[in-house]
Amino acid sequence: MFLVLVADGSAGGAMTASANTRGMLHAADGREVPWSCATRDGASGTVTVAGQQFDLGQGAVFLVSLKGNQTKVEQLAVDLSRLQGDPVEEKLDAVGESEPRVKAFLKECRGEK
């Protein structure tokens, strides 16, 4: 695993794996939000979400909020070895125990206070 996108306000997504992995997040309001990741080694490269570019070397977890007709992206550096295996949602919850921003984002996604 070299990239994790967590989206709030999304009705789902699609992905194509190739030399340049790319996909589309489908916002609940009908918008389609493109994303892509170009990497040769899974550690360096460029991630683009809704036209915003990020350096994969600065973190491979992206919290994407699609609420309110806006797209907000936050990049985090997280130990990806902690996210290996299934179910991914449980792995993210575990990461959230030591990463407050992940925990807060997941709570927001679930509508929890």
Q: How confident is the model at residue 2 (pLDDT cuts 50, 70, 90)?
A: low
83-99 pLDDT tens trace = 777 677 787 888 888 88
Q: How many CB atoms lie within 10 A of CB 50?
A: 17
In the predicted structure, residue 53 carries a pLDDT above the cut 70: yes
Q: What is the pLDDT of residue 68?
A: 83
Domain count, the chain: 1
Q: What is the pLDDT of residue 50?
A: 93
Q: What is the pLDDT of residue 75?
A: 94
Expressed as residue numbers, the domain containing 65 is: 4-110
